[in-house]
Amino acid sequence: MSVSILDSAAESSHALPDGLDKPRRKWAVITLMLALTVTVLDATMVNVALPAVAKALEIDRAAVVWVVIAYSLVVVISLLPLSSVAERIGFQRMFTLGLTLFMISSLASATANSLTWLVASRLCQGVSASMLMCMFGGLVRNIYPLRKLAMGISLNAMMVGLMSVLGPTIGAFILEVASWHWIFLLNIPICIVTFFGIRSLPEIPRNKTRFDWIGCALSVPFFGLTIIALDAIVKDPLRAAICIILAAISGWALLRRSRDQLAPIVPVDLLRITPIAYAVGASGFSFAAQMAAFIALPFYFRQSLHYSYADVGLLLAAWSVGVAAMAPVAGYMSGRFKVAVLCGIGAASMALGILILLLLPGNAVFVWPMLAMLTAGVGFGFFQTPNNRALLLGAPKHRSGAAGGLQATTRVFGQSVGTAMVGVAFSLSSSNSVIIGVSVSIGCALIAMLINIVRFFSPVPDSDL
């Protein structure tokens, strides 16, 4: 990046206000929390409802998984293009469009009477959720003044952790008293209430450059085919190889097209900023570790430790409780200690907690796996706030929308890669495939830790390192 570009970015950043004033900030935070609530609840409740959906629509269990896959895949491929759109049309307008589409598509999902209709409506929900999620980081950066930014990030993490715990419970309760359709209908009143707070959300100066449709078209196969290739690497190696080749070609073309643009679809301009590059790398492996653990550990608890489904639910909840409890502590400490130190400790704690689970004997007292899951969750929560703070603060403020989109894309892409890697482990014929799946999570957490060790010794003169 040239010096002139950096100078103009700095001037634009200083021209923007340092967060919202207190009365407006309060309503903006409430609005953001409601949007976080509805998107996280929707994702977690739907997973619980899959057996009921399969039975009601009389479809195969393998086919009903597309209700989740379709949603996740469209989110992965659309986050960065939509964050670029948000910078051009404005945060409030994008938020309104996303919330409206989310409400309409939730109603469509609730009235679905076939798998085709349900998957189509879930695709629309994925697009609308992506329209909201791509702005969360940018909204936090512009809602809070700099001195309160860590608190804002930790509040987001705490809300996500809380809803991750409550989501399956609320979903299970709904299924006990009503049909699966109400899982989607619950979104509508939350969306209606959220509409009242949209005017309180911040706006940043809009990006006047032309939207890069070719870059957008190239980003779709790059992200989408990479995930499909990882999923097919064992079951269909030829298809996986073709997908990897096509994804690599798309990625190369996208990089060449983006490297000289001021505000590209894939923000390579931000990735040239060393603190952001470290934060993105560490975040990707951290979320891969988290999702790999959440997929592999239930099988491990059931098959190796012989716990009931209720016990498995409690253990997974312990992780989320650890994340929620640690988020405000990490927010307090992130402005007082080096990011690399805090994130390194967090990643190491996550790896340690999962490793302890593998070392436990089959007759271990239940409190030990509970403490191990709590340790892993605390580590994950300790990692996220300082790392996200470094990512958002590393970007010029007028590019906070792109930084938020990059943060969300890294999270979803990392989770998708973690899911695919566990799928590869489960496809192995070895009797230890579940152990390998759990080990994938440990390996990803250790890589995140190593990135932070390198970040600590980085020569870049940045106080946030």
Task: Give yes or no: residues 254 and 332 share one domain.
Answer: no
Give Cα separations from 31 to 39, 154, 183, 327, 399 (angstroms): 13, 16, 21, 20, 22
103, pLDDT greater than 90: yes
Whether residues 250 and 103 share a domain: the answer is no
DSSP string, 354-385: HHHHHHS-TT--THHHHHHHHHHHHHHHHHHH
Give yes or no: residues 137 and 194 share one domain. Answer: yes
Domain of residue 189 covers: 17-202
Q: Rounded to whole angstroms, how far apart are CA atoms 58 and 175?
A: 17
Same domain membership, residue 241 and residue 356: no
Which residues lie below 8 Å from residue 315, measured CB to CB, with a gap of 6+?
297, 301, 307, 369, 370, 373
Residue 307 has what DSSP assignment? -
**Residue 2: pLDDT band by 50, 70, 90 thresholds?**
very low
Residue 206 to residue 416: CA distance in whole angstroms: 31
- Domain membership of residue 402 (yes or no) is yes
Q: Which residues contact 232 (CB under 8 A, 6 or more apart)?
A: 239, 240, 243
pLDDT digits (tens, 9 = 90+) for 360-415: 887 888 899 999 999 999 999 888 888 888 887 777 777 777 787 788 888 888 88
Q: Which residue has the higher pLDDT, 231 or 328?
A: 328
Residue 52 lies in a domain: yes
Q: Which range, of 193-207, 301-315, 439-453, averages the lowest pLDDT?
A: 301-315
Same domain, 241 and 278: no
Q: Do 51 and 128 belong together in one domain?
A: yes
Terminal C-alpha separation, the chain:
20
Q: What is the DSSP letter of 463?
A: T
Give dist(CA 293, CA 319) in Å, integer. 10
Angle (deg, nearest 10), helices 187-195 and 91-110 = 160
Report if residue 2 sits inside a domain. no
**Does the pLDDT at position 465 exceed 60?**
no
What pLDDT band is residue 5 in, cutting at 50, 70 and 90? very low
Residue 128 has pLDDT above 80, yes or no: yes
Same domain as 310, residue 242: no
For 129, the enclosing helix (H) or strand (E) is helix 115-143
For residues 455 and 361, state if they share a domain. yes
Q: Is the pLDDT of residue 191 over 90?
A: yes
pLDDT score of 62: 60
* Amino acid code (one letter) for 190: I
CA distances in angstroms from 417 to 291, 295, 387, listed in the order given: 9, 12, 20
| Structure token digits, residue 288 | 């891969």
What is the tens place of the pLDDT at every residue in 209-227? 777 788 888 888 888 888 7
CB hemisphere CA count around 339 (13 angstroms): 27
| CATH code (residue 180) | 1.20.1250.20
**Mean per-residue pLDDT, 141-170:** 79
Count how many domains the chain has.
3
